[in-house]
Amino acid sequence: MPLLQGDLARSLEVILVYTGNGKGKTCACVGQAVRALGRDMAVAFGQFMKRDGQAGEQRLLAQWLGPRFLAGGAGFLRREEERPAHRAAALRVLAWARAQLPEVQMLILDETLYALHAGILTREEVEALMDSARAVRRHLVLSGRNAPDWLVREADLVTEMGESKHPWRSGVTAAPGIEF
Ligand code: ATP
Ligand code: MG
């Protein structure tokens, strides 16, 4: 199902955001990648915060995308003294993302908003990526909890996953293949 000439230009959804406290943001990013790949679009998929080998989606994304996949995070930010290592990791993902953007039709950056909320990425850095995506008309997909108001205003499509029920509230721990 190749993309028809003009389809991308017609699309108004340049910047998509998946946010909210409910489960499904990263799964939505992976689903978006699958759909775009099914249209023969060139896709790059990066993950802030998540380390390589931390989640099930990473193995297949690496197979499908090769160097257009990068899980470059340093894991959960648990202690303040870990912040410089997280910042260095985020800067590596950011540099990779900037280089990918002109090369692909869709750039997906999972857990961007986690990094932003934690102060590992700045508003200026995220806005600069958004400006670049608009300038070169590439789809940019950003995900993570706590989308700030400015991002909701500036994005074209925002979906907020709401948590109606989640087993972790009754003490069930995260399961491989479901949560990671
Ligand atoms: P998914 O990766 O399943 O699409 P998500 O990206 O929306 O979910 P995140 O906030 O990135 O969700 O959290 C990663 C995963 O950890 C999710 O599957 C979420 O349901 C799960 N999770 C969040 N909080 C807890 C918790 N306290 N205990 C167990 N699992 C949790
Ligand atoms: Mg996630």
- Which ligand 1 atom is the nearest neighbour of the CA of 161? 7
d(CA 28, CA 161): 10
Pocket test for ligand 1, best of 48, 77, 179 (most atoms within 8 A of CB): 179
- Which ligand 1 atom is the nearest neighbour of the CA of 143? 6
135 CA distance to ligand 2 centroid (A)?
A: 27
141 CA distance to ligand 2 centroid (A)?
A: 13
pLDDT at site 13: 72
- 8 A C-beta contact, residue 24 and residue 161: yes
Averaged over successive runs of 10 residues, the pLDDT of the chain (180 residues) comes to 55 88 98 98 98 96 98 93 97 98 97 97 98 96 98 98 94 94
Helix (H) or strand (E) holding 160: strand 157-160
| Domains present along the chain, CATH in parentheses | 12-161 (3.40.50.300)
- Report pTM: 0.94
pLDDT at site 2: 58
pLDDT at site 7: 57
